[in-house]
Chains A and B, each alone.
Chain A
Amino acid sequence: MQFMLLFSRQGKLRLQKWYVPLSDKERKKISRDLVQTILARKPKMCSFLEWRDLKIVYKRYASLYFCCAVEDQDNELITLEIIHRYVELLDKYFGSVCELDIIFNFEKAYFILDEFLLGGEAQETSKKNVLKAIEQADLLQEVYEMV
C-alpha cells in the first residue's frame, strides 16, 4: 500500500498515512486530487478505480471516506477488507466510532493504525491482538501517570 487517507464528505482530511517518501507538496496535491475524484463518484459505483499508475480502493462509512492507494499487482478486495478491519478496530476501541472520535483523538487513530499496518502491509490481522496491544499501551500510560 502506498498511502491511506480518511476524509469527510466535505472533503476535509481526517487522517493521512504515507508509506512512500513524498514531499509535502506532492502529498497535498495527491490528497486534493483524490478527494475531488472520489467525492464526485456516485454511491453505487464500484469501489476501485485506476488513478495515475495506482489502484485506488475506497469505501464510505457514514460521513467518512476511507481510501487506500495500492500498486498494480495488489489485491483490491483484500484491501477493501483492510479498510473494514481498521474500521472495526476503531469501532471496538472507541465504542461505535464516529467522525468526531477520530478528530478529537487523532493520535489514537494513528496508534491503532500502526499496530495494524506497518510499512503499508498488514502487521497483525487479529482484532484481539491489535486491541490487546493498544490496551496494554493505555494501561502502561496510566501506570506511568500514577507514578
Chain B
Amino acid sequence: MPAVSKGDGMRGLAVFISDIRNCKSKEAEIKRINKELANIRSKFKGDKALDGYSKKKYVCKLLFIFLLGHDIDFGHMEAVNLLSSNKYTEKQIGYLFISVLVNSNSDLISLINNAIKNDLSSRNPTFMNLALHCIANVGSREMAEAFAAEVPRILVAGDTMDSVKQSAALCLLRLNRTSPDLVLMGEWTARVVHLLNDQHLGVVTAATSLITTLAQKSPEDFKTSVSLAVARLSRIVSSASTDLQDYTYYFVAAPWLSVKLLRLLQCYPPPEDGAIRGRLTECLETILNKAQEPPKSKKVQHSNAKNAVLFEAISLIIHHDSEPTLLVRACNQLGQFLQHRETNLRYLALESMCTLASSEFSHEAVKTHIETVINALKSERDVSVRQRAVDLLYAMCDRSNAKQIVAEMLSYLETADYSIREEIVLKVAILAEKYAVDYTWYVDTILNLIRFAGDYVSDEVWYRVIQIVINRDEVQGYAAKTVFEALQAPACHENLVKVGGYILGEFGNLIAGDSRSSPLVQFDLLHSKFHLCSVPTRALLLSAYIKFINLFPEVKGTIQEVLRSDSQLRNADVELQQRAVEYLRLSSIASTDILATVLEEMPPFPERESSILAKLKRKKGPGNLHPDLDENRKERSANGGTVAASPTPSTDLLGLGSTITTQNSAPPASKGTSLLVDVFSENIAAFPVETPVAVGPVADENFSREGGFINPKIPDMRCLPLAPFPSRFVCKNNGVLYENQLLQIGLKSEFRQNLGRMYVFFGNKTSTQFMNFGWPFTVPYCAFFLTVSLQLNVHAKPADPTVDGGAQLQQILNIECMSDFVDAPVLNIQFRYGGTLQNVAVKLPITLNKFFQPTEMTSQDFFQRWKQLGAPQQEVQKIFKAKHSMDTEVTKAKIMGFGAALLDGVDPNPSNFVGAGVIHTKTTQVGCLLRLEPNTHAQMYRLTLRTSRDTVSQRLCDLLSEQF
C-alpha cells in the first residue's frame, strides 16, 4: 500500500481497499463487502451522531464499493448532508458521491439543488466550481430546470473568476445537451460570443466548446462568432511556439483550442466577408505548410497534436468544399499519410479521404491513390485499418475503376475478417449493380460473392440479383447458363441453390436446347441439392418444379412422381406438404393453357431503391453513404427508369415464413386470422389475385398470404357510401384499397417528382375454387370514371370491358400534380353482376406527400433552412395523442414512407425525428422540413411542419399527424 500522498488520508478507507485487494476469490470479496456494508449501515443508523470525518469516510467507502460494480441502496442522505458541510474535503466527497450515484434517488433532488444553490451564491470560487461540476456531471432534467437560467448569469457576470467561467461554460454546454429546450437564448448570448476574445486561453477553450454546441442549435444567434474565431485562430497559428506558454503543448500552440475553433467554423458556410475569408484561407494554408516542416520534436505527442490540428483543418476544407486548391492540397497531404509508418495516421488518412472522395473537386485526386489503398487492404495487419481501406475503395469507386475495385474486394473477401464480411458483401453487391455496364459481369460478381462468402450473403443480395435478372431480358439466358454451371460444383452454398432454383424455374427453357442442360438434367441437378437444404429453400425448389412442369411438359411425369412421394405429400412441414399437394393437384387438373397462365414468367419488378443499399444504410448510419445515395438516385432517373417508388426498404421480400397460396385456393382455416389485422395495417401490400404464382422474392408485394381472402362482411353493396381510403396509404404506395364480397381493388403506384403512375387492379373474387376457373361468368365494367380537380390531372387508358371470374383487370392511371391540393380524386366503378347494376365509389390515395422527393442534408443545413422558414404562416404545429404504439422503427418507416428523407443525428435530442424533402408540382417546388417529437410518458406527439407555402404546411401536417 503506497503512502497516501497529499491532503488528508482516510486510513479506514485505505485499509478497506487493501482488504479487498487481498481477497483471493470473488466470494471472499463479496463477503468482505457485505461485512463492510453492514458496518456502515449500523453506523449510519446508530444513535451516536457521526462526526463529519466519519461520515465522509463511510460515504467514500460506499462509493468505492459502488465503483467495484456492486449496488448501493443507502447512504444518499448522508452524502447530501456532506454537501452542506463547511469543510471543503467533506463537501467534495459529498459532491463526488452525488455525481456518480445520483440517478437512483430522485427524492433527494430538491435537497441537492438547495445545497448547490447555496454554493453557487457563496462567492467562494472553489465552492462555486464544485457546484458547477456537480451540475455538469449529473446534468439531469431537474437540475436543468433549477439552474438553466442561473448558470448563464454566472458565466457572463463581470466579476466572475476565470476558473468559474470555464466551469460555467461547460456546465451550460452539458445542460444544453441534455435539455436543449430549457437553455434559452437571451442577451447573454452576445456576451458569450465575446468570450472568444478573452485574454485567458482556458476561458476561450471552454467558451468555444459551448458556442459550438449552441451554434448547432441556433446558428443565427452565434453568427458573429465566425469572425472572432477566425481572428483567434489566425493569432494562434501565426504565433511562435513559445508565445502561449503553458498552452503550448509539445511545441504546438494551443492544439485543443485550435481544433475547437476549426470545429466551430464547421457549423457555418465559408465566410461571406472577403477579408475574413482570406484570413481563414491563409490560416488553413499555414496549417498545411506546417505539415511539411521538419518536426520540432521526436515525441509522438508533438506529431499527434500537430496532426490533430491538420486533420481538423482538412475537415473544415472538406466542409466548405469550395476551394479546389485547398482540397487538392489536402488530398496530397493525406496521400503522404497513407504510407506513413504510424498506423494511426494511415487509419485517419483513409478515413478522411473517404469524405474527400465525395467532393467533385477532389474525387479525381483521391482516385490516384487507388493502388496504395488496395495495397493497404492486402497488407495492413490491423482489421480496423483494413476496414477503412474497404470504405475508401467503396467511396472512390466510379465507372472507371469499378471492375478493378470489385475484383480486389472480392479477392479480399476470401480472407477477410469475419466481422466485416457481411459489410463487404453488401458493398460489392451495390457497386456491382451500380456500375454494371454489362449485366453478365454483375451476375458473375454476385455468384462469386455467394461462392466466396455464402454465409454472409444476406437475403437482400440474392433477391436483388433475381430482380435484376427478371427485369433485363438480355441477361436471362446468361444467368441461367451460369447458375446451371455453378450448381454443378459438388458442394455449393444454399444461397446458390435458391438463386439457381429461381432462375432455372423462370428461364431454364433458355438453355434447354443444349443436351447437356436438357430439362431433365436441369431438374436432376436441382433435385440433387434438395435434401441438403433447409425448409424455405425446399419450398422454393418445389415452386421451381411446378414452373418446370409448365416450361417442359416432357418432365411432368418425373416431377409429379417426386411430388407424389411420401416425403413430399406427407412431409411433416406444413408448408412443404401444402405446396406438394397443391402443385401436384394443379399439374394434374389444369389444362396446359391454364398452367401457362398461372405459371407465366414473373412480371418485371417495379424499379426501386435497392434493398441492399437500405440494409447497408441501416448497418452504417447515413453519414458514410449519402453521397452515393444521391448519386444513385441521379443515375436512376438519368437512365430513364422509374425512380424508387417507395423509399421504405421492403423487408421479408420472400414471404416464405407463411403460406403462399396459389390463386383461389382456400386458406387453411387454422392460420391465425387475428394476426391479419396487424399484418394488414403495417406491412403487407396484398395482391391476392395476381396471376403468376410467386415462387420467390415478390411475395410481399405481389402476393399475399391468406390475407386477401378474408372477406369483410358488407351486407348490401349496391348503394355503398363513398369510401375513404385507409390512412395507411398516405405512407405506402401498394396494397388493397377496397374489398367486398365481389370485388377487390388493389393498387400499386409510383411517383417521381410531380408525376405518378398508379396501377389499379380489379380482382373478380366470385369464383372461389381454382378448379372452377372456367366458370362461365363475366362481369362487364360498363363504366369507370374519375372525379378530379384542376390541381391534379389524371388520365386513364381505356380498359377491357370484361373481367373473367377469378381474374383481374389492370388499369393504369397517369397522374400529374399541377399545384398543391387537398381533395383526393374519386374512383367510380359500375358493373353488372347477376343482372343488377353495382356501384362502388372510393377515394384514390393520391395525397400531396406522394410528390415528395427526399432531401438529405447536414444538421447545419437543416437548421439554417429551419430558421429561414421561421415566418408564422410557414409553420404548422399539431400536438396530438398517439393512436398506435410509439415504436421508433415503425415511426421511422412511416416518415420515410411519407416521402421525406429521415435525417439521423440532426436533432440534438435523439428521440426526435426530423425529415426533409421537396414537394414537386408542375408550377412550383416547395421545400419542406418536418420535426416529430414523441413524448412517451404522455403518449403524445408534437409535429411541426415548416414549408415555404402555408397550404402545404397545413396539408402535410394534417396527413402525417393521422399516421401515429
Which residues of A approach B to under 8 Å, CB–CB?
13, 15-16, 19, 21, 23-24, 28, 42, 44-50, 53, 72-73, 75-78, 80-82, 84-85, 93-95, 98, 100-101, 103-108, 110-111, 114, 118-129, 133, 136-138, 140-142, 144-145
Contact = CB atoms under 8 A, between A and B. Distances in A.
Contacts of B348: 48, 76-77
Given A111-B96, A121-B209, A125-B256, A103 B21 contact: yes
Nearest to B90: A144
B928 interface: no
A78 B306 CA distance: 9
Contacts of B96: 107, 110-111
Nearest to B3: A104
Given A42-B381, A118-B206, A124-B163, 12 more contacts: A45-B343, A77-B307, A78-B256, A103-B21, A118-B132, A122-B209, A124-B202, A124-B205, A126-B201, A126-B247, A129-B163, A145-B89
B173 interface: yes
A124 B166 contact: yes
A99 to B, nearest CB: 10
Contact of B178 (A21, A106, A128): A21
Given A107-B60, A114-B133, A124-B205, A81 B305 contact: yes
Contacts of A45: 343, 381-382, 384
A106 B67 contact: yes
B436 to A, nearest CB: 29
Contact of B8 (A15, A94, A142): A142
B155 to A, nearest CB: 13
B370 to A, nearest CB: 22
A48 to B, nearest CB: 6
B163 A144 contact: no
B689 interface: no
B5 interface: yes
Contacts of A72: 623, 905
B126 to A, nearest CB: 6
A121 B126 contact: no
A131 B340 CA distance: 36
B206 A123 contact: yes
Contacts of B89: 141, 144-145
11 contacts: A46-B344, A72-B623, A80-B304, A81-B255, A85-B249, A94-B5, A104-B17, A118-B136, A119-B139, A125-B202, A140-B126
B259 interface: yes
Interface in B83-125: 86-89, 92-93, 96, 103
B580 interface: no
B7 A142 contact: yes
Q: Chain B interface mostly helix, strand, loop or mixed? A: helix
Most buried by B among A45, A72, A106, A114: A114
A118 B133 contact: yes
Contact of B7 (A73, A85, A125, A138): A138
Given A19-B174, A141-B89, A101 B206 contact: no
B301 A137 contact: no
Given A81-B304, A138-B6, A119 B166 contact: no
B88 A77 contact: no
B166 A144 contact: no
B308 A75 contact: yes
B166 A77 contact: no
Interface string B248-282: 01000011110110010010000000000000000
Most buried by B among A75, A80, A114, A118: A118
A72 B206 CA distance: 20
Contacts of B163: 124, 129, 133
B202 A126 contact: yes
Contacts of A100: 1-2
A125 B177 contact: no
Nearest to B210: A121
A108 B93 CA distance: 10
Contacts of A28: 69
Contacts of A21: 103, 139-140, 178
Nearest to B307: A77
B5 A118 contact: no
Contacts of A82: 256
B259 A101 contact: no
Contacts of B259: 75, 78
B14 interface: yes
Nearest to A122: B256
Given A81-B255, A103-B17, A140-B88, A122 B2 contact: no
Contacts of B5: 93-95, 101, 105
Report the 8 A-B pairs with minimum CB-CB distance, sorted nearest first.
A119-B174, A77-B308, A118-B170, A78-B308, A126-B246, A46-B343, A121-B209, A141-B89
